[in-house]
């Protein structure tokens, strides 16, 4: 087995500002992805970097922006053709724990409930001012993706059906 002379051995001290740390792995992300994430973009799209992400359901990302460190937790979908990772959490404070299945499920329940309550609180206020029958509407969003902290997920009442 021949060694690749251009491949440098891994050195934790050379950790780049644009690397994702996962379980015992460091992966490079595209420089544009780094910039977009820091500015608030909610995804990492398919590129030559993201195609190398491990097939884990959750990824963690720490990015340096000057003296500031940004911490991200992602939902990872290795099979999606366009979006490989969706931001689930972002913070400038180091998280106390990594995102896992249990914490994801707990967060998901809370976010769905908050999104629905947000809409129905507004509906109740509007209903008092202009009494119309809200439930006769044919089209109602219960939650709507990234705007409700639920990346890639929509809950939509359409006619007699609820579409997820």
- pTM of the complete model: 0.74
Residue 65 has pLDDT above 60, yes or no: yes
> From the centroid of its chain, how far is CA 48?
20
Query: In degrees rounded to 5, what are phi and psi of residue 103?
Result: -65, -35
CA torsion, ordered 79, 38, 19, 111, to nearest 10 deg: -50
Do 82 and 45 meet the contact criterion of CB atoms below 8 Å apart?
A: yes
- Higher-pLDDT residue of 141 and 74 is 74
Q: How many domains does the chain have?
A: 2
- For position 58, what pLDDT does the model report? 93
Residue 142 has pLDDT above 50, yes or no: yes
Is residue 82 domain-shared with residue 128, that is, in the same domain? no
- For position 24, what pLDDT does the model report? 44
Is residue 79 domain-shared with residue 130, that is, in the same domain? no
Residue 62 lies in a domain: yes
Residues forming a β-bridge with 86:
43, 75
Is residue 86 domain-shared with residue 107, that is, in the same domain? no
**Mean pLDDT in residue range 51-59:** 92
pLDDT band of residue 133 (cuts 50, 70, 90) is low
> Of 40, 62, 91, which marks where a domain is finished?
91
The rounded mean pLDDT for the chain is 81
pLDDT band of residue 132 (cuts 50, 70, 90) is low
pLDDT band of residue 5 (cuts 50, 70, 90) is very low
Write the DSSP symbol of residue 97: S
Is residue 138 domain-shared with residue 87, that is, in the same domain? no
> Of 54, 69, 91, which marks where a domain is finished?
91
The first and second tokens of residue 37, run together, are 């994430």
Do 143 and 116 meet the contact criterion of CB atoms below 8 Å apart?
A: yes
- For position 121, what pLDDT does the model report? 74
Is residue 57 domain-shared with residue 115, that is, in the same domain? no
């Amino acid at each position: 087995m021949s060694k690749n002379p251009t491949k440098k051995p891994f050195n934790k001290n050379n950790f780049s500002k644009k690397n994702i740390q996962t379980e015992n792995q460091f992966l490079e992300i595209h420089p544009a992805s780094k910039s977009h994430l820091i500015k608030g973009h909610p995804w990492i799209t398919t590129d030559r970097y993201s195609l190398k992400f491990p097939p884990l359901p959750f990824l963690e990302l720490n990015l340096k922006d000057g003296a500031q460190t940004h911490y991200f937790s992602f939902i990872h979908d290795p099979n999606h053709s366009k979006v490989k990772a969706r931001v689930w959490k972002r913070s400038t404070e180091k998280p106390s724990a990594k995102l896992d299945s249990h914490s994801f499920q707990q967060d998901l329940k809370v976010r769905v409930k908050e999104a629905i309550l947000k809409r129905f609180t507004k509906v109740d206020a509007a209903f008092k001012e202009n009494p119309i029958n809200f439930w006769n509407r044919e089209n109602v969003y219960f939650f709507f993706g990234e705007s409700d902290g639920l990346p890639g997920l929509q809950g939509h009442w359409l006619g007699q059906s609820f579409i997820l």
